Structure 1
Amino acid sequence: MKKLVAYITTGYPDKNFTIDLALSLKEAGVDSLELGIPFSDPVADGPVIEAANLFALERGFSMADLLEVSEAVAPRIDTLWMGYFNPFYHRGVDYFLQKAKGYGVSGFIIPDLPHEEAAAYRPMFDEKGIALIEFVAPTDPPERIARIVKDARKFIYMVAYAGITGAGKSESLEETIDAVRAHTDTPLYIGFGVDEKTAKEKARGVDGVIVGSAFIRILLKENLTKSQKIDKISTLARSIKERINE
């Protein structure tokens, strides 16, 4: 069965909502949860996720909120931290790895840490048994893909197109998929532009999908109550999970 990874912005509108949404997504069939760490300059994210980041920061998000949410949800759903490198570097990568290990967080997704620069930190992740998720893109030549996926852990994040999340572009991915498959059996998941309409098509040839903006659009709707947001996001997750496995 193909997997569904759901991205949500930690702490928006508040940390208790994040916990309730995470557990509801588990019941809806989500296999892994990306807890997005709000950041003021999320360069890989489109305007939808950027807005949620800024709203969370304006409401006082702190790393303590991330830890509290992780403590509550990681024992119940496979949990990853998705964030930009600056906060990890500022406090110390080892500090976050120790916290992640204690709470049962299984991996980090750091989109602005290139494979080559990540090499210095990878032994620290391996020592803790925590995955540092690797990225591949249609713009990567086969020789670079071979280097990236050689020691990939947990899953490989394939970017569906060059650009930002939620842009809805379309590019041919067959060559990229073949290049990954030629060098590893590590599961390959696709992200960027995946929603209810595109999920079935994008899931072809890969092992799972990563969905973020489609959920956050609902999260940002001011005319919905918190419970309505949770219901709608969970219903969408259930539908996407069904579609990728039809």
Structure 2
Amino acid sequence: MKKLVAYITTSLPNNDFTVDLAYSLKENGVDILELGIPFSDPVADGPIIEKANLLALQNGFRLNDLFEVSSKIGHDIDTLWMGYMNPFYHYGMEEFLKKAQEYNISGTIIPDLPFEMSQKYDELFNKYNKTNITFVAPTTPKNRIKTLVENSKKFIYMVAYAGITGSGKSEDLSEIIKNIREYTQTPLYIGFGVDEKTCKEKARNVDGVIVGSAFVKHLLDNSLSNSEKISKISQLAKEIKININE
């Protein structure tokens, strides 16, 4: 059974909504939840998630909101914190990992933390039994892939194309997937540009998909009530989970 990872923006529009959405996504086929930490300069994300980040910040998001949501879902839902390095650095990586342990959060996804720099935190992640997800891009050379993936845990985040999330590009990834498989048995999930239309094709030869912008765009739809947003996003998750496993 191929896995579905869902990204949502924490506290958009509020904490209670995020908790309700998280549980609904779990009930509709989501295996792992990425709780996005709103940040003013989300460099790997496209305009949809960038807008959601800014709206959450304008609404007054603080890290305590992330912790409040996590305290309500972490013991029931396999959850990762997805964010940029700035908040982790300023709050303190060990303090973050202590919170992750307290709320049963599995680990982190930090797109702008280079691999070599992430290694300085390996001891801390091991101390708290948390995972920092490894990224591999289509442009990664084979000798670099071995370095990146040989000690990877939980899953590898395979970037579907060079660029930002949500732009829907397509690249032939067969060779790089083959190269990754040569060095690790860690599950390989593909992200960037995955939605109900592209998921089946993108899921071919990998173990799961990561979906963000396709969900978040409904968070931004002001024509929908909060309950309608949850219903629409959950139905989309259900459809994607079915599609990738057909």
Using structure 1 for the length normalisation, give the TM-score. 0.99
Q: Which amino acid aligns with 1:103?
A: Y
In the TM superposition, residue 36 of structure 1 has moved relative to its aligned partner by 0.1
Q: Distance in 2 between matches of 1:164 and 1:83?
A: 15
Query: What's the secondary structure of 2:81's corresponding residue?
Result: strand
Alignment of 1:84-163 (within 5 A): 84-163=84-163
Match of 1:68 in 2: 68
Q: Distance in 2 between matches of 1:154 and 1:21?
A: 23
Q: Distance in 2 between matches of 1:137 and 1:188?
A: 12
In the TM superposition, residue 167 of structure 1 has moved relative to its aligned partner by 0.6
Q: Which amino acid aligns with 1:161?
A: Y
Q: Which moved more, 1:80-89 or 1:121-130?
A: 121-130
Deviations 1:113-162 (A, max 9, x none): 01111111111101111000000011000000100001001000000000
Q: Distance in 2 between matches of 1:236 and 1:198?
A: 13
Query: What's the secondary structure of 1:135's corresponding residue?
Result: strand
Q: Distance in 1 between matches of 2:168 and 2:45?
A: 12
Q: Distance in 1 between matches of 2:181 and 2:74?
A: 30
In the TM superposition, residue 28 of structure 1 has moved relative to its aligned partner by 0.4
Deviations 1:58-87 (A, max 9, x none): 000000000000010111110000000000
Q: Which moved more, 1:120-129 or 1:63-72?
A: 120-129
Name structure 2 gaps, 5 residues minimum: none
Q: Distance in 2 between matches of 1:25 and 1:58?
A: 25
Match of 1:177 in 2: 177
Q: Distance in 2 between matches of 1:117 and 1:32?
A: 25
Question: How many pairs are equivalent?
Answer: 246
1:49 aligns with 2:49: yes
Q: Distance in 1 between matches of 2:122 and 2:166?
A: 29
Q: Distance in 2 between matches of 1:186 and 1:127?
A: 21
Name structure 1 gaps, 5 residues minimum: none
Q: Distance in 2 between matches of 1:20 and 1:122?
A: 33
Q: Distance in 2 between matches of 1:218 and 1:62?
A: 22
In the TM superposition, residue 98 of structure 1 has moved relative to its aligned partner by 0.3
Query: What's the secondary structure of 1:88's corresponding residue?
Result: helix
Q: Which amino acid aligns with 1:55?
A: L
Match of 1:2 in 2: 2
Query: What's the secondary structure of 1:170's corresponding residue?
Result: coil
Q: Which amino acid aligns with 2:215?
A: F
Query: What's the secondary structure of 1:182's corresponding residue?
Result: helix
Match of 1:200 in 2: 200
Match of 2:240 in 1: 240
Superposed structure 1 runs of 4+ greater than 2 Å apart: none
Using structure 2 for the length normalisation, give the TM-score. 0.99
Query: What's the secondary structure of 2:144's corresponding residue?
Result: helix
Superposed CA RMSD in Å reads 0.5
Q: Which amino acid aligns with 1:168?
A: G
Q: Distance in 2 between matches of 1:61 and 1:135?
A: 27
1:216 aligns with 2:216: yes
Q: Which amino acid aligns with 1:116?
A: E
Q: Distance in 1 between matches of 2:58 and 2:176?
A: 39
Query: What's the secondary structure of 1:138's corresponding residue?
Result: coil
- The percent identity for this pair of structures is 64
Q: Which amino acid aligns with 1:125?
A: F
Q: Which amino acid aligns with 2:111?
A: P
In the TM superposition, residue 91 of structure 1 has moved relative to its aligned partner by 1.0
In the TM superposition, residue 107 of structure 1 has moved relative to its aligned partner by 1.3
Q: Which amino acid aligns with 1:236?
A: L
Query: What's the secondary structure of 2:120's corresponding residue?
Result: coil
Match of 1:165 in 2: 165
